[in-house]
Chains A and B, each alone.
Chain A
Amino acid sequence: MNITKNTEAERLNFWERLYLPEIVRGLGVTFKQMVKFPKFTRQYPEERFEPKGSYRGRPVLVLEESGERCVACGLCSRVCPSLAIEVQAADTSKDKERYPAIFEINMLRCIYCSYCEDVCPEEAIVMSKDYDIVFTNQQQAILSKEQLLVPVEKLQDRLEFLRQYK
């Protein structure tokens, strides 16, 4: 390879080496940006982001009228790469025969990968649209079954998305 223009002085022409015209040009670029009105800013607590069905927020358990869908098979707990899910099964006299006596998700561990949702045979655990998840201590971050259960009507977007793309 033959590099002819090697030093900085050779690469730049006179005006570029003078530096000042280029500074003025740079100032022009930023000035153009300055007079643009920012279009993308959302005034967060007042204007909230409304996610689509494809959004992976806090994982939740689906609650139907007859009770939770979950049959406590424990697949989600097994597949969870960050070991965030804890399930303990118990017997019940209902049709499904089994239900989770304890179902906990540690939100400090959850990485929102949605593997639990993919692996669930009952479509009982799905990702919701919750994204402002705040805790003041570590104990609070472990969500119990009662905190995880969400009525099925509120999860229609996600369930539809799963039916279409899963």
Chain B
Amino acid sequence: METQTILAILLEAVIKVTVVVSMVLTLAAAEVWLERKVSAWIQNRVGPNRVGPFGLLQPFADVVKLFMKEDIIPSAASKNFHRLAPFISLVAAIAVYAVIPFADSFELNGRTIHMGVAPNINIGLLYILAVTSIGVYGITLAGWSSNNKYSLLGGLRAAAQMISYELAMGLSLIGVVLIAGSVNINDIVRGQAGSILYWNVWIQPIGFLIFLTSAFAETNRAPFDLPEAEPELVGGFNTEYTGMKFGMFFLAEYANMATASAFMSLMYFGGWSLPFSHELIGLEQGSITLALAQFGMFTLKLFAFLFFFVWVRWSIPRFRYDQLMSFGWKILLPTAIINVFVTALFIVLSL
């Protein structure tokens, strides 16, 4: 390859990474605002309304506050790991966005541009499953290195929960993979394009419910937020974290939530595909306007799921630890396995 082509590719990658990372961080900020507003509404409160219009700048005020805070490392902590843990969580949470397609690819000056950093790779789904699991290392390491029994228990719970629910999550996705015949995320989305009726959620309702439940557990959100269960574990794994290090865990949690939402809409709700044929509104396949419309669609679905996450958090009480485990292993996992076999059977019979 010529140097110029290499440079062009490099430049494109750098721009994409910058855009995606800043988008993820903005998204996390928007989620913080959404969470505070929705929780306020559910509790008949007004919510943040002082900083900016409708309190929209509240997350930024929060971040400024976190930066100003004193950064404390407990003297008995394992200092290097204590410093490292939040970075692992945050990096894993952001790295997932490398393969998430925000829209279909479009043509510009004879070049095909993908909407996303590298959304068209053939192992997209596996990559997401693998990288989201790495995030738990950060939490477990944080729990262990804090040298605090509450933190340790929180970290252990996170690890145990991750193992229990990752299995059911992966198995529930196998149904989708069987239907699409590919683990390339764009292919899975294209299989659902054209109409609401083609969405995988209608073909795989049980798989979707299993995925939804395990997504809550994977992101450590209520009702499965046992790693940081305040009433029992003080603050769980982040008990000993202050300032921006705590902020990074916070950010990672919200980025993970956005990942789970994006993943859910990609796998089961048609992702970036429009719920009607794109010729209906006169948009050309591969045009930049279509890509923008698809991006809008995807954002809409993403926020619908984020809202659902927050809504569930303020409605359902936390599971007890033994309930969590028996639910994961005795109900979710067998159901997921049966779901895989039934789906496989249907596919074999229909061929």
- In the complex, A133 Cα to B46 Cα: how many Å? 25
Check A29–B44 contact: CB distance below 8 A: no
Check A38–B315 contact: CB distance below 8 A: no
Central interface residue in A26, A34, A38, A41, by most chain B CB within 10 Å: A34
Which chain B residues in 300-327 approach chain A with CB under 8 Å? 311-312, 314-316
- In the complex, A39 Cα to B40 Cα: how many Å? 13
CB nearest neighbor in A for B317: A26
Q: How large is the interface on A (under 10, 10 to 19, 20 to 34, 35 or more residues)?
A: 10 to 19
Interface 1/0 per residue, B40-63 and A, CB below 8 Å: 111111100000000000000000
Check B41–A33 contact: CB distance below 8 A: yes
Partner of A30, one of B40, B46, B315: B315
Asked whether B209 is an interface residue with its Cβ less than 8 Å from the other chain, the reply is: yes
Check A27–B315 contact: CB distance below 8 A: yes
Check B45–A38 contact: CB distance below 8 A: yes
Check B45–A26 contact: CB distance below 8 A: no
Known A33-B44, A34-B38; judge A20-B209 contact (CB<8 A).
Answer: yes
Chain B residues near A31 (CB-CB < 8 A): 311
Check A23–B316 contact: CB distance below 8 A: yes
Chain B residues near A26 (CB-CB < 8 A): 315-316
Check B315–A29 contact: CB distance below 8 A: yes
Asked whether A36 is an interface residue with its Cβ less than 8 Å from the other chain, the reply is: yes
- In the complex, A26 Cα to B223 Cα: how many Å? 13
Chain B residues near A23 (CB-CB < 8 A): 315-316
- In the complex, A11 Cα to B333 Cα: how many Å? 25
Chain B residues near A20 (CB-CB < 8 A): 209
- In angstroms, how far is the closest chain B Cβ from the Cβ of A107? 28
Asked whether A15 is an interface residue with its Cβ less than 8 Å from the other chain, the reply is: no
Known A30-B311, A31-B311; judge A41-B316 contact (CB<8 A).
Answer: no
- In angstroms, how far is the closest chain A Cβ from the Cβ of B119? 32
- In the complex, A40 Cα to B315 Cα: how many Å? 22
Check B44–A38 contact: CB distance below 8 A: yes
Q: How large is the interface on B (under 10, 10 to 19, 20 to 34, 35 or more residues)?
A: 10 to 19
Check A36–B316 contact: CB distance below 8 A: no
- In angstroms, how far is the closest chain A Cβ from the Cβ of B279? 37
Known A20-B209, A33-B41, A34-B38; judge A41-B315 contact (CB<8 A).
Answer: no
Which chain B residues in 27-41 approach chain A with CB under 8 Å? 38, 40-41
- In the complex, A6 Cα to B40 Cα: how many Å? 39
Check A34–B41 contact: CB distance below 8 A: yes
Check A30–B314 contact: CB distance below 8 A: yes
- In the complex, A20 Cα to B332 Cα: how many Å? 13
Which chain A residues in 7-52 approach chain B with CB under 8 Å? 20, 23, 26-27, 29-31, 33-36, 38-41
- In the complex, A23 Cα to B319 Cα: how many Å? 13
Known A20-B209, A27-B311; judge A33-B316 contact (CB<8 A).
Answer: no
Partner of A33, one of B43, B46, B209: B43
Known A20-B209, A34-B38; judge A27-B45 contact (CB<8 A).
Answer: no
Chain A residues near B42 (CB-CB < 8 A): 30, 33-34
- In the complex, A141 Cα to B84 Cα: how many Å? 46
- In angstroms, how far is the closest chain B Cβ from the Cβ of A18? 10
Known A31-B311, A34-B38; judge A40-B316 contact (CB<8 A).
Answer: no
A sample of 14 inter-chain contacts (CB < 8 A) reads: A23-B316, A26-B316, A27-B312, A27-B316, A29-B315, A30-B42, A31-B311, A33-B42, A33-B43, A34-B38, A35-B41, A38-B41, A40-B44, A41-B46
B binding-site residues for A, Cβ under 8 Å: 38, 40-46, 209, 311-312, 314-316
In the A-B complex, the 9 residue pairs with the smallest Cβ-Cβ separation, listed nearest first, are A30-B315, A34-B41, A41-B46, A26-B315, A30-B42, A38-B44, A27-B315, A34-B42, A38-B46
